[in-house]
Chain A
Amino acid sequence: MFPAIWSNRHAVATIAVIATLLSLPVLMHVVGLPSRDRVYTGIRVETGTGPLDERTIFQEKGPVDILFIGSSLMVRGVDMDYIQQQLSKQLGRPATVRYLALKWQGLDMQYMLMNDFLAHRQARLIVMNMPSLALNGDSPHIQAYRWMRWGEFPASTAGLSFSSRAAIYGAEVLGAPRQIVNYIRPNERIQNQQTVDKLGSQYEYGSVGYYGSKFVPEQQTPPAIPVDSMIAHGKADPNFTFDREALGPYHTEWARRIGALAREKNVPFAIIHIPEDTEQGMKVVPERMYWPQVVGIPSAPVIGIPAATLFRDVPEAEYDNYFYDQHFNDNGKEIFTHAIAPAILEVYANSVR
């Protein structure tokens, strides 16, 4: 049988290759990492809103009135143009509403987006959607190898367990060769801004029916809901539950870091619940945990509408017309945004007062 290692020289070469690959994240940190915007350029456009995030964080200037940060649920759940239009009316001046997101859920990812943004720009209010039950397990974000680089966010990873740090390092090892390519031959930015907007809004899912069925446009008028009932008044609010499966220690730690970052930067912070297809008929907004307590900002408002209330005028058989899977299609996005907008504006008014 032909041996795997046939000489001392071959053994040394094999050791050198494996050791270099395993220590590449550290070596890159020692040599000097490329700037953070390269991380976003290196994310494949098919996997999320990387180009839009890059433009929002690194290219645009000036403060933002409301910054939404979250996963694809948020991208497909909130019509940012409508919120911006309504806020402009309320303020009597052009308002700026932006969002940052990547596909798949993870508070490590949301911390990264928030941290990068606040390092470059100011936000008057940050609104986040927190992980739903769709977040399985307690490990780094699916795309973590694309944006986690060794030596970054040191204060944030300090509280993590050894296994979590090993998971992060594993992701960094996986991503390091790509980071080198980003350094040597960076992707060009997409020059067509309409393409960036389209990719960022995940427009391709707007007119898709439930799990591939025919898309049925709905003209349902959103219900008028008292603003007060869309904002949780403490843990025992009858319109909300905060007792679903708790996050594991990894994501809980990032939730704490998000809260700490908001406090450090003195940015008002709020949480929004985006309904999912499985919530049909639910009379309460189901959240996994009482987030104000978890992030360490007791005054952080939690905004949401129970699915039974949002869809009270929608026949049961037509409920699925508002989703393309667990996410809203354009039907759902519009009815939800129009219904929840007054609560968002109220939270903004209270935050900047």
Chain B
Amino acid sequence: MPTPSAKVNPLLMGIVISLSIAAIVLTLFITPDSLSVNLVYQAF
């Protein structure tokens, strides 16, 4: 029996994956220093 994700349009799946990668890459540009310091100081 095919899994439900097999019913999703491949183009839409491609966009979801691309956007997810873009979000991860953008997060990498924010320095680990910044994230850790802000977590320590609860600055968020």
A interface list, Cβ under 8 A from B: 1, 3-8, 10-12, 14-15, 18-19, 21-22, 44, 46-47, 104, 136-137, 139-140, 142-146, 163, 166-167, 169-171, 173-174, 178
Contact = CB atoms under 8 A, between A and B. Distances in A.
B12 A4 contact: no
Contacts of B30: 139-140, 145, 167, 170-171, 174
A46 B41 CA distance: 8
14 contacts: A5-B8, A7-B8, A8-B9, A15-B19, A18-B16, A21-B23, A22-B23, A46-B43, A47-B43, A139-B29, A163-B29, A167-B30, A169-B29, A170-B29
Given A7-B4, A11-B13, A19-B19, A46 B42 contact: yes
Nearest to A178: B44
A348 B1 CA distance: 81
Given A142-B33, A142-B38, A11 B26 contact: no
Q: Is the interface of B mostly helix, strand, loop or mixed?
A: helix
Contacts of B37: 104, 142
Nearest to A143: B43
Given A8-B9, A15-B19, 18 more contacts: A1-B3, A5-B12, A5-B16, A7-B8, A11-B8, A15-B15, A15-B16, A47-B43, A140-B31, A142-B43, A143-B38, A145-B34, A146-B43, A166-B26, A167-B29, A167-B31, A169-B29, A170-B26
Given A6-B4, A11-B8, A22 B26 contact: yes
Contacts of A169: 26, 29
Nearest to A15: B15
Chain B interface extent, by class = 20 to 34
Nearest to B43: A47
Contact of A139 (B8, B20, B31): B31
Contacts of B33: 136-137, 139, 142
Interface of B: 3-5, 7-9, 12-13, 15-16, 19-20, 22-23, 26-27, 29-31, 33-34, 37-38, 41-44
A131 to B, nearest CB: 14
A156 B3 CA distance: 51
A173 B41 contact: no
Nearest to A12: B12
A44 B5 CA distance: 43
Given A12-B12, A22-B22, A171-B30, A4 B5 contact: yes
Nearest to A165: B29
A6 B5 contact: yes
Nearest to A18: B19
Contacts of A12: 12
B23 to A, nearest CB: 6
Which residue, of B33, B37, B43, has the highest number of chain A Cβ atoms within 10 A? B43
Contacts of A47: 41, 43
A3 B3 contact: yes
Contacts of A174: 30
A174 B30 CA distance: 9
A145 B43 CA distance: 11
Contacts of A142: 33-34, 37-38, 43
Given A46-B41, A167-B30, A171-B30, A7 B7 contact: yes
A50 to B, nearest CB: 11
